[in-house]
Amino acid sequence: MQEEEIVFQLLEQDRKARIERIVEERKITTEDCLVLGILRIHREVGGLHGDIASLRGEIERIHKRIDE
């Protein structure tokens, strides 16, 4: 478990360093980063809605099979 935590921490540090480098090189503001992050989260949430709809359909199919 400790190895997984170490890997996660290293990946997080690397991600932060890459973001800082992009901000520095491209002169992206903190506000720009926040907006981009919000857009990414919005896109991911949209994908979750599709996953949930798919799961509901699967549950309905299972209920029908149980009823039969």
Q: Is the pTM of this model over 0.75?
A: no
Radius of gyration of the chain from its Cα atoms, rounded to whole angstroms = 20
Tokens of 62: 């299972």
Query: Between 2-26 and 30-67, two packed helices, what is the crossing angle to 10 degrees?
Result: 130
Domain map (residue ranges) of the chain: 2-67
Distances (CA, A) of 59 to 46, 50, 64, 66: 20, 14, 9, 10
Determine the Cα–Cα distance for residues 30 and 19; give it in Å rounded to an integer: 10
**Are 55 and 61 within 8 A, CB to CB?**
no
pLDDT 10s digits, 5-54: 887 888 888 878 887 887 778 777 778 878 888 888 888 888 787 888 88
